[in-house]
Structure 1
Amino acid sequence: MSFRIAAYAVCLERGRVLLTRHVAASGETTWTLPGGGVEHAEDPFDAVIRELSEETGYSGVVERLLGVDSRVISAAVAHAGVEHQNVGIFYRVRVTGGRLRAELDGATVEPTWTPIGEVASLRRSSLVENGLALAQTLPATGHVTTTPVGGLIQH
């Protein structure tokens, strides 16, 4: 089994959410939230701001912890062909500066402010669903029901 801890930014502004397009090695693309893996000895609180900057060109500040999503992806579905657990830590992040641009030499491209009403029509990661659900409901436990994948929603 592989394991990953990641931090994701939910940036909301005037009815829009900041998304990036992830490009898989196969060339397949999926919309997702800015964020990614927490490096060894890095605090997830710092990782989410680093990832926001790397993937979008923006600087930001964490406004609050939204919650944590832990999911296991079966070997049959996981990209590496082995069972994988992803622990995603979601933060509400406010953009404070910088200039929107694509990630330099990375797997994410086309950072875009997307109207929330248009998200449902996009081929997107389940991270988007979970991040928006946490931001909209602010559950006291910080836990949201795992989003089923399939159709336009991918792992």
Structure 2
Amino acid sequence: MDLRLAAYAVCIEDGRVLLARHVPPEGEPHWTLPGGRVEHAEDPVDAVIREVAEETGLEAVVECLLGVDSRVVPAAERRLPGRPELHNVGVFYRVRVTGGRLRPEPNGETVESVFTPIHEVARVGRSSLVDIGLTLARTAPPTGHVAPVPVGGLIQH
């Protein structure tokens, strides 16, 4: 089993959430939250700020920890054929934009970032991470954990 620790930004302004259009080398393009892998010896707070800047061009600060999601992606559902199942541990933070300008990720897989009205999110192809982050932001569960999001239709791993 592969293990991945990642940090994700939930940035909500005026009823809109910041989404990043991810176009992986393999698989379907989809919308996701800005964020990604925590590098060796990197603090997840530093990782989420770095990822927001890299993927969107925006500067941000962490306002609070929203929660942690732990899920296993079966080997058959991974975008990389031949890889074992993936245990993804995602740390979700509420962030606030403090500067910068939206732009695509230079030489990366994020081709566009936009503030999307929250009521429109259900109509776009997206990662389950989007639903997890929005649920954490909306409900603020005391445990910092939400029920697994079913994958299928417009929602993918």
Quote how far apart the aligned CAs of 1:45 are.
0.7
C-alpha spacing 1:33/1:2, structure 2 compared with 1 (3 Å): same
Q: Which residue of 2 aligns with 1:111?
A: 113
Quote how far apart the aligned CAs of 1:41 are.
0.2
Return the alpha-carbon distance in structure 1 between the equivalents of residues 26 and 91 of structure 2.
26
Return the alpha-carbon distance in structure 2 between the equivalents of residues 146 and 26 of structure 1.
24
Aligned residue runs from structure 1 range 85-124, under 5 A: 85-124=87-126
Equivalent of 1:133 in 126, 132, 135: 135
The two structures have a TM-score, normalised by structure 1, of: 0.98
Matched, 1:36 2:36: yes
Q: Which residue of 2 aligns with 1:22?
A: 22
Q: Which residue of 2 aligns with 1:78?
A: 78
Which structure 2 segments of 5+ residues have no match?
A: none
SS in 2 for 1:52: helix
* Cα deviation 1:64-122 (Å, max 9, x = unaligned): 00000000011111223311100000000000001111111111111000000100000
In the comparison of the two structures, how many residue pairs are matched?
A: 155
* Cα deviation 1:113-153 (Å, max 9, x = unaligned): 00001000000000000000000000110001110100000
| 4+ long deviations beyond 6 Å | none
Return the alpha-carbon distance in structure 1 between the equivalents of residues 9 and 98 of structure 2.
13
Return the alpha-carbon distance in structure 2 between the equivalents of residues 104 and 137 of structure 1.
35
Question: Given residue 137 of structure 1, which amino acid in structure 2 is its aligned partner?
Answer: T
* Identical counterparts, % of pairs: 68
The two structures have a TM-score, normalised by structure 2, of: 0.96
Question: Given residue 149 of structure 1, which amino acid in structure 2 is its aligned partner?
Answer: V
Moved more, 76-85 or 136-145: 76-85
Which structure 1 segments of 5+ residues have no match?
A: none
Aligned Cα root-mean-square deviation (Å) = 0.8
Question: Given residue 139 of structure 1, which amino acid in structure 2 is its aligned partner?
Answer: P
